[in-house]
Amino acid sequence: MVRNSRPYSGPADGNPSGYPSGRFVAETRVDDLDKDEQSAEDLAPKKIYPAIARAMMGELHANLLEVVSYHLRGGSGQNLLVLGPGSEVLPFSEHLDDVGDMINGGDLILQDYNETICRKMKEYLEGKKSDRLTFGDAGPGQARVIIRHQDVRAGLAAQPDSLDAIDMTVSVHHATQYENDLIRILADARRVLKKNGLLHIGEGNVDMKYSERKLERLVKDVSEITGTNIELFDRRNGIENRRQLLLGYLDLGERTTILVNEQGMVELLGVGLSCSSDRSKPNEYEVAEALAQRGYKQMIESDHSIFLPLIDHAIEDDFQGLIVPVRKYYAEVSAACLKNLAPEDHEAFRKAISKEQSDAERGLVEYYSPPSMVEKNLQLAGFRLLDVRYTEQGPFVNYVAVKTDW
Ligand SMILES: C[S@@+](CC[C@H](N)C(=O)[O-])C[C@H]1O[C@@H](n2cnc3c(N)ncnc32)[C@H](O)[C@@H]1O
């Protein structure tokens, strides 16, 4: 494993990955934020994100460009897939000459699950009026842009062995609530990459996988207390993430349903109900009492059901396991951003970031994997890790890996 805590800011000396540094400068400019276009009310969701992206991810983006352009240097007809490019396709849209040179007659595939973003990225790129991009056939020095509206959980939008490089910068954490989700996406990346193809992942340097561990514990506790199988439906991400967890009670065939809703509330359903009359199950009050003895706090019982928050701030393990790292991460993100944002944008930024932080504290939307988990699974998925590089500004990390032969 190669680990480097510095950004790509100096010469390649001592950098075992061989990737040179310093060609792309971290971008912190936020001047194309059109302040007059909208009221302060809708500035936050519509306009502040591109500004934040520039303010906080300049270094992450500079590292990404170094790595991808080095890997693709000198080739022709190369195909790059960007997963979750966002409506402004940062940082590529700000370096279109380099993009044209590196792709050089090949495809730039932009995959995003958000339809509006897909539409906007086309408008945004067309607005750049660059002869380096085309939506038709690409000639030398050009990239053919292909926009794919597709959720990565349904696969990467490319043929097997067709890509020279894939970039996933601050996108994959939205789609990886569980470590298994990460494993599936990495396996898919391997499927669509050519031999020696490059995978760049840029992510937050933080562990936000606590909700998976909490759910595993809850499933085990409820199963032990009720003596039933557990069927888990996780609806936090809008789509049904169904897992049937059978914990040694196969013979009974009885089940309790655990449903996690979009607000991060857990519902235990069918508590105390039994298919067979000769078996008596603990009712919802008895189950809640037993859960309380195991440390669960805020619970409401009603009609064979128990409701509780997935992440309970009053539970020390939840607090230490999720709230503390989330707060530390957003404090670092805020410090990096506020330094680079104009004072008049600070309020909109705080509004946007506090919504994101509040989602993350409830185990919603943000599921950053800790570096140890990403590194381990990259290797297990058949990648050779070339570089793991932490940013100096803000809590981010660039992972650089290539597809191996096995
Ligand atoms: C924070 S933006 C990252 C933008 C850009 N990569 C950058 O570095 O600035 C995350 C992007 O990932 C997309 N995204 C999130 N979940 C996704 C999924 N399951 N499948 C495809 N795209 C997804 C979002 O729509 C959004 O465009």
What pLDDT sits at residue 254?
A: 79
Euclidean distance between CA atoms 394 and 392, whole angstroms: 6
Q: For ligand 1, is residue 153 a contact (CB within 6 Å)?
A: yes
Q: Which residues contact 190 (CB under 8 A, 6 or more apart)?
A: 381, 382, 383, 403
- pLDDT score at 22: 65
pLDDT at 35: 35
Q: What is the DSSP string of 190-203?
A: HHHEEEEEEEEEEE
Task: Determine the CATH number of domain 40-207+333-403.
Answer: 3.40.50.150
Q: Where are the domains of the chain?
A: 40-207+333-403, 210-309
Nearest CA to ligand 1 atom 6: 85
Closest to 9 in 3D by CA, of 18, 21, 24: 21
Instruction: Specify the pLDDT at position 7.
Output: 39
Q: Ligand 1 in contact with 85 (CB < 6 A)?
A: yes
Distance (Å, rounded) from C-alpha 143 to C-alpha 149?
A: 19
- Tell me the CA–centroid distance for residue 101 and ligand 1, in Å: 25
Other Cβ atoms within 10 Å of 340 Cβ, number: 20
Of 212, 142, 224, 219, nearest in space to 181 by CA: 212
**pLDDT for position 21:** 62
Structural contact between residues 182 and 176, judged by C-beta atoms closer than 8 angstroms: yes
Q: pLDDT 10s digit of each residue in the chain, 406 long?
A: 444 444 333 323 344 455 556 666 654 433 333 333 333 333 344 567 777 788 888 999 999 999 999 999 999 999 999 999 999 999 999 999 999 999 999 999 999 999 999 999 999 999 999 999 999 999 999 999 999 999 999 999 999 999 999 999 999 999 999 999 999 999 999 999 999 999 999 999 999 999 999 999 999 999 999 988 888 889 998 766 665 554 444 455 678 999 999 999 999 999 988 766 656 789 999 999 999 999 999 999 999 999 999 999 999 999 999 999 999 999 999 998 888 888 888 998 898 899 999 999 999 999 999 999 999 999 999 999 999 999 998 899 999 999 998 7
> Cα(96) to centroid of ligand 1, in Å?
20
Only one residue has tokens 């800790």, namely: 370
Q: What is the pLDDT of residue 49?
A: 73
